[in-house]
């Protein structure tokens, strides 16, 4: 069955960096686009970024553009999110989610990981 | 950006009830609409895609309808495991956007 396991969360000071990972199994990772979605404490869901099956296409939310970078290693079945210049408002649980297709257009989420908490605080 | 508006933001219902949640998009999104369920402290789970298609393994008590700008999620025969927060989300265009959520509570 599909499994997505995030890691790398923790407490980090404002302005510092953190890298999240999402280990995928149970499907052919290299065939599907992948997303990061976040949820601030007590708030709703916010889509962050998508990467296509081969890493050639990426779209970012304006709130993270220029600070966050998504990447993937299809040989390791792993998705990454490099987060730089972190701000207090980036505090959230970060979920990776599998896309329904390999491309970035008209793709919905079908499976979600359990999430990893990132806390940005001095 | 496409704004997604859910109503109500919360509702109280009894076991066995049928409830409906509405979701409105600020512009037409065809049927590129998904619904998710989230229980406290847990990750969201995908329920419906393409406005009315059930994800694998989702019981038929959940149903979705709508197209364009107006969508509905219906939950029949409410059971204890259905009390949760429900979100709609459009995937017609980037940035992908979610509704604010509807919390379904026990009356």
pLDDT digits (tens, 9 = 90+) for A11-65: 999 999 999 999 999 999 999 999 999 999 999 999 999 999 999 999 999 999 9
Which of A100, A98, A90, A88 has the alpha carbon at shortest distance from A6? A98
Shortest distance between the Cα of B86 and any Cα of chain A, in A, equals 10
Residues of A whose CB is below 8 A from B101: 44-45
Do residue A44 and residue B36 have CB atoms under 8 angstroms apart? no
pLDDT at A67: 98
pLDDT, tens digit (0-9, with 9 covering 90-100), for A49-62: 999 999 999 999 99
Q: Which residue bears the tokens 């970035």?
A: A104
Give the Å distances, CA to CA, from B33 to A18, A91, B17, B50. Answer: 32, 27, 24, 5
pLDDT tens for B29-66 read 999 999 999 999 999 999 999 999 999 999 999 999 99
Bridge pairing between strands A116-120 and A58-60: unpaired
- Whether residues A108 and B34 touch (CB distance < 8 A) is answered with yes
Alpha-carbon B29 to chain mean position: 15
pLDDT class for A103, splitting at 50, 70, 90? Answer: confident
Tell me the C-alpha to C-alpha distance, in Å, between residue A84 and each of A19, A20, A81, A90, A104. 9, 11, 10, 10, 24
Q: CA dihedral defined by B57, B55, B4, B32, rounded to 10 degrees?
A: -170
> Does the beta-carbon distance from A50 to B100 stay under 8 Å?
no
pLDDT of residue B77: 96
Output the pLDDT for position A102: 83
CB of A117 within 8 Å of a chain B CB? The answer is no
User: Pick from A96, A62, A64: which is nearest to A83 by CA?
Assistant: A64
């Amino acid at each position: 069955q599909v499994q997505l396991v995030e890691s790398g969360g923790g407490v980090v000071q404002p302005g510092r960096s953190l890298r999240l990972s999402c280990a995928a199994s149970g499907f052919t990772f290299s065939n599907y686009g992948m997303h990061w979605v976040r949820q601030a404490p007590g708030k709703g869901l916010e889509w962050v970024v998508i990467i296509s099956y081969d890493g050639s296409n990426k779209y970012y939310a304006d709130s993270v553009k220029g600070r966050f970078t998504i990447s993937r290693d299809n040989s390791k079945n792993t998705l990454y999110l490099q987060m730089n210049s972190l701000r207090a408002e980036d505090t959230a649980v970060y979920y990776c989610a599998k896309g329904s297709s390999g491309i970035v257009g008209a793709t919905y989420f079908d499976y979600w990981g359990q999430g990893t908490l990132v806390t940005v605080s001095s | 950006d496409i704004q997604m508006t859910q109503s109500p933001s919360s509702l109280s219902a009894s076991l066995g009830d049928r409830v409906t949640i509405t979701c409105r998009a600020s512009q037409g999104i065809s049927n590129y609409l998904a619904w998710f369920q989230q229980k406290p402290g847990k990750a969201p789970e995908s329920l419906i895609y393409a406005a009315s298609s059930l994800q694998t393994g989702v019981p038929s008590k959940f149903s979705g309808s709508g197209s364009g700008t107006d969508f509905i999620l219906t939950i029949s025969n409410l059971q204890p495991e259905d009390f949760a927060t429900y979100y709609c989300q459009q995937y017609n265009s980037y940035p992908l956007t979610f509704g604010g959520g509807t919390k379904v509570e026990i009356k």
